[in-house]
Chains A and B, each alone.
Chain A
Amino acid sequence: MKPGRHREATLYHALAGAGAGNGRTLEQLREAALKSFETSELPVWRRSGFWTTSLQSLDLDALSVQPEAVGDGVPDVVTRTLPDGPRAGRIVQSAGAVVHVELDEALAQKGVILCSLEDAFRDHSELVTPWYSKRLTIDRQKLEAANAAFWTGGVFLYVPQGVVIEAPFQIVYAIDSPGVAQYGRTLVVGAPTSDFRVHEYDLAENFDGQALHAGAFELYLQDGARARVAQVQDWGSGEVYDVSTRFVGVGRDAYCHWLPALLGGHLVRQHLELAISEAGGDMAFRGLFFTEEHEHLDVFAVDLHETGPSGGDVHWRGAATGESRASFEGLIQIDPGAQQTHTYLQIHSMMLSPKARVDAIPSVLVSSDDVSASHGGTVGELDETVIFYMQTRGLDRAAAVRVIVEGFFEPLIAELGDEPLEEVVRAKVAGKLAAAREDIEAYATSR
């Protein structure tokens, strides 16, 4: 492939080079971020005329961090949602406070660390400091700066060299009531040849009123490490804004399977960047989203290759009902010198109501010549032929639609490879379909 640009009408850019860390202490970073916060406005992102993500309806001054735990600690929505299966550990942050930490005793003996990021800076600064904000920036926009300046609680997970763990680590960010500004901050480090799973849950109670989750997530896999990372996000029916940046760095011969499932939020803007930083790195970057009612979702997914040989495989699926809007920008970026990189990006979307909209915008930025990079995808509506087929087997229209949409997501859900987690995601998809039943019915019969 010839080096060159192929970007049309795109809005977002990959995080540029090194992050904010760069030898600075936590205090220095907080101070710099605070300056940026104070001098910037709430962001508005516009893409040439047809897409706007605006946070101007967010009343940030009315929200507070709430750094102290209130009530019983672990919110009910967490207890209701999380599967009970085997786990390596669980850490729960509610509003601004970490309210629950548990870690398998045997794993603690092996040197695994799971604790709040605040505690980690105090107790394990030698493990935290080299990685903290290594690739994340702190001043691209006001809420990113707010996170870097104000975060409390936070999560630190460290898996030592050679430790292999089948059961997942569960990381939970929960918002129990309106009025909360949650600045979630997660740092995960997989030492060489470690092998583990991370399941993050972002959950909120169904409340009336505004709340904010401005998250920053970074995960670094050192030589030969392997991780399967999933994120289940469902902020419920409240007016929850989620503006988050997530970065996964894959080191030499390391591998990451990453699957965010974005399943609800009033306004969600996600910058998701997976970088192959050293030779031999490989990854599978999956994702699914399902928007409903008046939700607004804006995803930017980056498949970044900083060196070669490396592999990549990006596969996203999204559906929209109601009057929801979803935009997916997928970028393959192959930097100079990342020779022998082979990667593919596909995005499939399905619109389930006449007023729903999904924009899928793949783009490719290639600066090396001995590479292959391509993208593909489909935009679909419900196929009457398929519905008729299932009806002739006795399924009514609503059931047929459910089968189609569940089948549409199933290839990705099945890849999670963790039955309890898969069931959580399947149940959420089914719940959304049930909620949108009338909408879908009316749409299908109107055509």
Chain B
Amino acid sequence: MADLEIRDLHVRIEEREILRGVDLDISRGEIHALMGPNGSGKSTLASTLLGHPSYEITEGTITFKGEDITEAEPHERAKAGLFLAFQYPVSIPGVSVANFLRMAINAKREEPIQVKEFRNELQHAIELLDVDKRFTSRHLNDGFSGGEKKRAEILQMAMLQPDIAILDETDSGLDIDALRTVAEGVQRLHDEQGLGALIITHYQRILHYVKPEFVHILMDGRIVLEGGVELVERLEREGYDEIRREFGGGEASAVAAGDSGV
């Protein structure tokens, strides 16, 4: 039994069905890549897994560590050990990175974390992810560059130590240095803490730095192809169009291709 089990998941937003029966199993220690063209439903899956209120599950279940979390509140899923690194992290003015991290950590615990323990963990995460120490005293994502926002996401992931992290297009808009830092951070959390990850991406380049064991291709709300890392190489050679010709649902593809970021 996998830690995170997604069964026949159908999701609609504003009367439009985006996911049309997704099955996926992810366990601790596994790195999965979910790839697909714009509009295929990747971000919808990410948001739905964490319980975004705008996404309506019409069919199917999400089970995490044996518990049905299909209807659970987002913060309950987080406490259970799920994490979402956002494609577009929001800024929270007036709240420093360090203070926010402390609040988030304390939300998961009975007793508040000791100052010294917190400082040590923060220091460790900072070194692990090669971020500037001053970073943690800035207001969360407020005035951050794109790369800084993504680093802040990974820093939060390192501190919160989830079992399974979903990284929603964390690689988009990053220069190569930031991409490498982010990817290596994920890899090290996997190696050191046994993190399980679902790396959602449109491109292949992040997968040069993090090696997925499992690759899933999402098109028009369904996983149409699954395999190992060789799928990434095939995508690089052939592009999504070739795979769509082979597996894609023809009728919805034209519509889906016109929508991005759904």
Interface residues of A (CB under 8 A from B): 383-386, 388-397, 399, 403-404, 406-411
Cβ contact within 8 Å between A399 and B103: yes
Cβ contact within 8 Å between A395 and B93: no
Cβ contact within 8 Å between B93 and A384: no
Cβ contact within 8 Å between B90 and A391: no
Given A384-B53, A393-B160, A395-B75: A404 in contact with B84 (beta carbons within 8 A): no
Given A383-B90, A384-B53: A392 in contact with B95 (beta carbons within 8 A): no
Cβ contact within 8 Å between A394 and B108: yes
Cβ contact within 8 Å between B78 and A394: yes
Interface residues of B (CB under 8 A from A): 47, 50-54, 73-75, 77-79, 82-84, 86, 89-90, 92-95, 100, 103-104, 107-108, 139, 156, 160
Q: Which A residues touch B78, using CB under 8 A? A: 391-394
Q: How many cross-chain pairs have Cβ atoms below 8 Å apart between A and B?
A: 78
Cβ contact within 8 Å between A403 and B107: no
Q: Which B residues touch A390, using CB under 8 A? A: 92, 104
Cβ contact within 8 Å between A394 and B75: yes
Minimum CB–CB distance for B74 against chain A, Å? 4
Can you report 30 A-B residue pairs in the complex whose CB atoms are below 8 A from each other?
A384-B53, A384-B54, A386-B92, A388-B47, A389-B86, A389-B90, A389-B92, A390-B104, A391-B50, A391-B73, A392-B75, A392-B78, A392-B84, A393-B75, A393-B78, A393-B107, A393-B156, A394-B78, A394-B160, A396-B73, A396-B75, A397-B73, A397-B75, A403-B95, A406-B95, A407-B92, A407-B95, A408-B93, A410-B93, A410-B94
Cβ contact within 8 Å between A385 and B90: yes
Cβ contact within 8 Å between A392 and B83: yes
> With contacts A393-B103, A407-B139 known, what are 8 further pairs, Cβ within 8 A?
A389-B89, A394-B75, A394-B79, A395-B75, A395-B104, A396-B75, A397-B75, A408-B93
Given A396-B107, A399-B107: A404 in contact with B92 (beta carbons within 8 A): yes
Bound form: Cα–Cα A395–B74 in Å: 9
Minimum CB–CB distance for B91 against chain A, Å? 8
Cβ contact within 8 Å between A403 and B92: yes
Minimum CB–CB distance for A405 against chain B, Å? 9
Cβ contact within 8 Å between A410 and B95: yes
For A388, give its contact among B53, B79, B95, B103 (CB under 8 Å).
B53
Residue of A nearest to B82 (CB): A392
Minimum CB–CB distance for A417 against chain B, Å? 16
Q: Which B residues touch A399, using CB under 8 A? A: 103, 107
For B93, give its contact among A388, A391, A396, A411 (CB under 8 Å).
A411
Q: Which A residues touch B74, using CB under 8 A? A: 388, 391-392
Bound form: Cα–Cα A404–B91 in Å: 10
For A407, give its contact among B73, B77, B94, B156 (CB under 8 Å).
B94
Bound form: Cα–Cα A411–B95 in Å: 9
Bound form: Cα–Cα A231–B51 in Å: 43
Residue of A nearest to B77 (CB): A392
